[in-house]
Amino acid sequence: MKLKILVTAGDGVGPEVVKEALAVLEVVAQVGGHTLELDHKRIGGVAIEQDGTPLPADTVAAALDSQAVFLGAVGDNKFDSLPASKRPEKGLLELRAALGGFANLRPVFAFKELTVNSPLRPEIIDGSDILFIRELLGGLYFGKPRGWDKAKNEAFNTMIYTRDEVSRVARIAFQLAQKRRKHVTSVDKANVLEVSQLWRATVIEVAKEFPDVTLEHQFVDAMSMHLMKRPRDFDVVVTENMFGDILTDESSVITGSLGMLPSATIGGKVNLYEPAHGSAPRYAGKNTINPLATILTGAMLLRYSFRLEAEADAIVAAVRKVLEQGFRTEDLARTNPEGLTVLSTSEMGAKVREVVKSMLVKA
Ligand SMILES: NC(=O)c1ccc[n+]([C@@H]2O[C@H](COP(=O)([O-])OP(=O)(O)OC[C@H]3O[C@@H](n4cnc5c(N)ncnc54)[C@H](O)[C@@H]3O)[C@@H](O)[C@H]2O)c1
């Protein structure tokens, strides 16, 4: 199979982590007889410096012409003084809009070896495996009217959803739950907000198409507590844009480090894959940053854009194995370094490659 991927490594640590993830994908492709057809284009600060814009037109064209877009991260403090419309992050927002993905998938998974890194007690988080699906194109962040009337000292945003916007993201949640533990939790605020009442009614309608999946509803305030007290009880969690933004950041503490969180945005013209972390400019060029979030993002790319499930599973299993063997990047070794071997970014990438290769060759 040919895998035509546009790579936009971006700024800061983006190029370092993307390099390691691509090397893992290269091993998977070689063993499986696939061809990685990679095109590299600029986005973010590096594009501002070289092209005068955070999202050059040829990056958008190449993205739309690819089967998947693999992004590192954008942003650097040196652009902080620019107006929001000219900053690196604007490039990413525009790319997301051009690709049109409306379902942001964020798996939150507690690797047993890393539970010690979380501020939550290991016996609470051990075994947690949640797939968050955040609606990404609607709700409060995009709703109109919006504005700040300075004369009146009044500002407002609009939380708005249509039935179609809710049903398409709910359908993805149920479809993915069918491949997992068949349980969907829909999060809303239906006791107060009409938009949440529409959300809930629509999710209940869509659930009828999936009789094998159990549906439960939670209010967002209660959910924020349940996630910290009993995260193991949740399988697929689907929610609107802002609630998802908040709950996924809250739940990142379960994984022990931002360097462990992959993400994918699907449902549009071309899927977009990126680690959940940013460009961490302080760490750029030091070869110490954790590449595992990006490597796990590569696994999502194989799963959701190419249906290479076994290969994706092998990458996740290899990451688990490397952790079991006591290998860590700096961020994962801070809490309890005893008995651990701290690896650089490139060494960690090489370890995962080695294990993935041996797993796939044996299979
Ligand atoms: N999707 C994106 O491209 C994206 C997302 C968030 C932030 N940003 C941008 O990144 C820049 C830095 O933002 P920030 O410092 O708030 O967030 P950040 O995620 O870049 O880093 C915050 C801290 O988390 C830790 N961290 C992050 N990734 C890690 C990894 N892979 N391994 C180990 N530790 C890791 C580091 O301690 C880092 O200082 C800003 O310009 C911001 O706008 C971009």
Query: In CATH, what number is assigned to the domain containing residue 281?
Result: 3.40.718.10
Average pLDDT over residues 183-191: 98
Q: Name the pairing type of β-strands 271-273 and 264-266.
A: antiparallel
pLDDT value for 339: 87
pLDDT value for 96: 93
Average pLDDT over residues 221-238: 98
Residue nearest to ligand 1 atom 22, measured at CA: 280
Question: Do 280 and 224 belong to one domain?
Answer: no
pLDDT value for 362: 79
Q: What is the mean pLDDT of the chain?
A: 96
Question: Do 302 and 197 belong to one domain?
Answer: no
Residue 279 has pLDDT above 90, yes or no: yes
Average pLDDT over residues 255-269: 94
> Which are the contacts of 307, defined by CB distance < 8 A and separation ≥ 6?
none
Find the helix or strand (DSSP H, E) in which 183 lies.
strand 183-188
How many Cβ atoms are within 10 Å of 153's Cβ, its own excluded? 7
The residue from 200, 226, 255 where one domain ends is: 255
Residue nearest to ligand 1 atom 38, measured at CA: 280
pLDDT value for 360: 92
Domain membership of residue 131 (yes or no) is: yes
- What's the domain range around 31? 1-104+265-363
Residue with tokens 């305030």: 221
Domain membership of residue 282 (yes or no) is: yes
Mutate to test the pocket of ligand 1, among 18, 80, 258 (most ligand atoms within 8 A of CB): 258
51 catalytic, yes or no? no
189 catalytic, yes or no? yes
Question: Do 324 and 346 belong to one domain?
Answer: yes
351 catalytic, yes or no? no
Cβ burial of 168 (10 Å; 0-12, 13-18, 19+) is: middle
Residue nearest to ligand 1 atom 24, measured at CA: 258
90 phi and psi angles, rounded to 5 deg: -60, -35
Please pick, among 41, 189, 235, 273, the residue that the annotation labels catalytic.
189
| Distance between Cα 150 and ligand 1 center (Å) | 33
Q: How confident is the model at residue 125 (pLDDT cuts 50, 70, 90)?
A: very high
Question: Do 147 and 63 belong to one domain?
Answer: no
Residue with tokens 């927002």: 93
Residue 82 has pLDDT above 80, yes or no: yes
Ligand 1 pocket, CB under 6 A: 73-76, 89, 92, 257-259, 274, 277-282, 289-290, 293, 331
Q: How far is CA 28 from CA 111, 304, 321, in A?
A: 22, 15, 17
What value, to the nearest 5°, has the Cα angle with vertex 92 and ends 139 and 301? 90
Average pLDDT over residues 305-316: 97
pLDDT value for 85: 83
Mutate to test the pocket of ligand 1, among 70, 252, 279 (most ligand atoms within 8 A of CB): 279
Percentages helix, strand, coil for the chain (3-state, rounded to 5) are 50, 20, 30
Are 29 and 308 in contact, with CB atoms under 8 Å apart?
no
Tell me the C-alpha distance between 293 and 111, whole Å: 13
How many Cβ atoms are within 10 Å of 93's Cβ, its own excluded? 14
Write out the DSSP string of 327-341: EE-HHHHSS--TT-E
Q: How confident is the model at residue 257 (pLDDT cuts 50, 70, 90)?
A: confident
Please pick, among 245, 313, 321, 357, the residue that the annotation labels catalytic.
245
Average pLDDT over residues 294-322: 97
Average pLDDT over residues 330-334: 89
Residue 196 has pLDDT above 90, yes or no: yes
Tally of structural domains, the chain: 2
pLDDT value for 181: 98
Residue 45 has pLDDT above 90, yes or no: yes
Q: Evaluate if pTM is beyond 0.85.
A: yes
Q: How confident is the model at residue 84 (pLDDT cuts 50, 70, 90)?
A: confident
| Distance between Cα 281 and ligand 1 center (Å) | 8
Average pLDDT over residues 29-37: 96
161 catalytic, yes or no? no
Tell me the C-alpha distance between 315 and 28, whole Å: 9
Cβ burial of 191 (10 Å; 0-12, 13-18, 19+) is: exposed
245 catalytic, yes or no? yes
46 SS3 class: helix
The residue from 216, 233, 255 where one domain ends is: 255
Q: Residues, the chain, total?
A: 363
Residue nearest to ligand 1 atom 31, measured at CA: 259
Work out the percent of the chain whose per-residue pLDDT is above 70. Answer: 100
Domain membership of residue 306 (yes or no) is: yes
Between 182 and 257, residue with greater pLDDT: 182
Question: Do 192 and 72 belong to one domain?
Answer: no
